[in-house]
Structure 1
Amino acid sequence: MVKQIPFSGILNNKRIFNPDFYNWNRIKVRYCDGSSFTGDVAAVNPVTNLHFRGARVWLAVMEDLLSKGMRNAENAILSGCSAGGLASILHCDSFRALLPMGTKVKCISDAGYFINTRDVSGGHYIQTFFDQLVATHGSAKNLLPSCTSRMKPGLCFFPQNIAQQIRTPLFIINAAYDSWQIRNILAPGIADPHGHWESCKLDIKNCLPSQIKTSGYNSWLHCFD
């Protein structure tokens, strides 16, 4: 029995909620690899039995969809939210390359524009995290060569370093106050061991003037000007 999955946003099949795309063929790819589908490590972790093969999952899914009719699409949109939004940026041009030249292809990233900025302690928590992620998953070979030829692979996981190099039309949607990035990039727990930012990072109205004026916070807001 096929399980019915409720869709929302541009995947909704109700014209009243999704007038532009309600009658399109819609495919939801479950996120399962932790690297926005860029990982490619042949060996399996002997301790955890984890597989770091997101790029292979991506290609397998695309090949299956192409064989089921996607190769005949007149219009195609690759979209995603959060880590999926990052995946839609990282794979935008490769998705375009899979389809015939006559197909109109666009990419939409929703809340996937993760910023490389200093945290409230002045450190580079998210940069270190992405460096480790790329190393663990063996992602370097699947990131944009035009970026990895100029800087270390971990930096090429940040949209700000690759978005301008993408040739396919790319639309980016991101809230000016991105609560996940405030909590996990600007003020992660490791950068705020005493919890001084706990209230502020959950609601900007709770921030003290001194917190608003910190260079890291001002830099963060400036990214969305």
Structure 2
Amino acid sequence: MADHWIKLLVLSLVMIIQVVHGSENITITLLESAVSKGAVCLDGSPPAYFYDKGYGEGADNWVVYLEGGGWCANTDFCHEWISTKSTFKREKKMQFRHILAPKQTINPDFYNWNRVFVAYCDGSSFMGDVEEVTPAILSGGSAGGMATIYHCDGFRALIPGATRYKCIADSGIFTPADKKDLIGYEKRVHRFDKLIAFHGTDKLLPKSCTSKMSVNLIYTGLDPGLPYSETTWYGCGNDLDFCTCPQIQSMKEFRAEFLKTLQAIAKSSSIGMFVHSCHIHGHFLNFHGWDPSPLLQNKTIAKVIEIGILIEAFFK
């Protein structure tokens, strides 16, 4: 079932969507026809998306945003997780904001593009199993950001006619869990071992990666708060004055490992990064994370993406 889920979703999306562009409230579209082909959410509900049709100069351009929402790795937790993610239960309308906003004053670069928000309902970064557009952007936040990274090559292969495409992961890079001297290593490994086993995602990952390292090191994440389930990070997360010495040390170790990961990524001439130290997880649908946002070279995230996508320049 490898790429089946997301291929069916995007193929169906390209073929059947016809709505009025520029809507403030976008109506959900359920892909009932995908159910018989095995592309379903955890509870059997059909995959779904929200779509606002492009027009004018943006009529042939696409932004596809994959929703985030964490992961689940066992029957009980997945049952609880899908209770809020089932497409049968979610709101039938949503407002498109920031990178998906239909207003030129808010979203001057992409307001008239075809804009799609893909509902996340499989609990495994769309790893359950994407045709001719140009340019095209695949994006997502958190678990959807991780999915953006994993599906980027496949997304490109499914739009061979596209002269330009970009994949933009929002808060989707998680540092490897192979740093055994970081506190919480065993918990991280156990968490993602369960996730991989439960969803069977090991066979969906690129063989070019799995042949060189264990599956857990590819499909894993490091959240500084995760190993400290018995302690409170809320105060520390909002004000450093409330952080304990072990928490400060944990963040320093996390910073060192995170920068090490980024240095490896930075060797690629085709990858751009926007890195900041503000306490924000998920930017593209967040007012304070989009425009305005933290600044890099005096530019917001929205402006950097505009330059990187439309002018083919990259900031590192």
- Using the size of structure 1 for normalisation, the TM-score is 0.65
Shift in Å, 1:208: 3.0
Is residue 2:246 matched to residue 1:219? no
SS of residue in 1 equivalent to 2:107: coil
Measure, in 1, the Cα distance between the counterparts of 2:247 and 2:124. Answer: 32
| CA RMSD between the two structures | 2.7
Corresponding position of 2:147: 87
Gaps of 5+ in 1: 39-53, 56-61, 160-179
Is residue 2:110 matched to residue 1:21? yes
> Kindly tell me: are residues 134 and 210 of structure 1, through their superposed partners in 2, closer, same or farther at Cα, counting changes over 3 Å?
closer
The answer as to whether partners of 1:36 and 1:87 remain within 8 angstroms in 2 is: yes
State the AA in 1 paired with 2:105: I
Is residue 2:224 matched to residue 1:182? yes
Is residue 2:243 matched to residue 1:207? yes
1:74 to 134, 153, 156: 134
> Kindly tell me: are residues 221 and 139 of structure 1, through their superposed partners in 2, closer, same or farther at Cα, counting changes over 3 Å?
same
Corresponding position of 2:295: none
The answer as to whether partners of 1:85 and 1:109 remain within 8 angstroms in 2 is: yes
Instruction: Map Cα deviations across residues 123-145 of structure 1 (whole Å, 9 max, x no partner).
Output: 33223211211111111111111
Count of matched residue pairs: 168
Gaps of 5+ in 2: 1-25, 28-91, 260-316
* Sequence identity (%): 43
The answer as to whether partners of 1:85 and 1:112 remain within 8 angstroms in 2 is: yes
By percentage of residues, which structure has more helix? Answer: 1
Corresponding position of 2:126: 37
The answer as to whether partners of 2:134 and 2:161 remain within 8 angstroms in 1 is: no
State the AA in 2 paired with 1:139: T
Measure, in 1, the Cα distance between the counterparts of 2:232 and 2:158. Answer: 49
Measure, in 1, the Cα distance between the counterparts of 2:199 and 2:135. Answer: 32
> Kindly tell me: are residues 120 and 8 of structure 1, through their superposed partners in 2, closer, same or farther at Cα, counting changes over 3 Å?
same
Shift in Å, 1:109: 0.6
Corresponding position of 2:96: 7
State the AA in 1 paired with 2:107: N
Is residue 2:176 matched to residue 1:147? no
Is residue 2:170 matched to residue 1:114? no
The answer as to whether partners of 1:88 and 1:109 remain within 8 angstroms in 2 is: yes
> Kindly tell me: are residues 196 and 4 of structure 1, through their superposed partners in 2, closer, same or farther at Cα, counting changes over 3 Å?
closer
> Kindly tell me: are residues 223 and 29 of structure 1, through their superposed partners in 2, closer, same or farther at Cα, counting changes over 3 Å?
same
The answer as to whether partners of 1:183 and 1:201 remain within 8 angstroms in 2 is: no
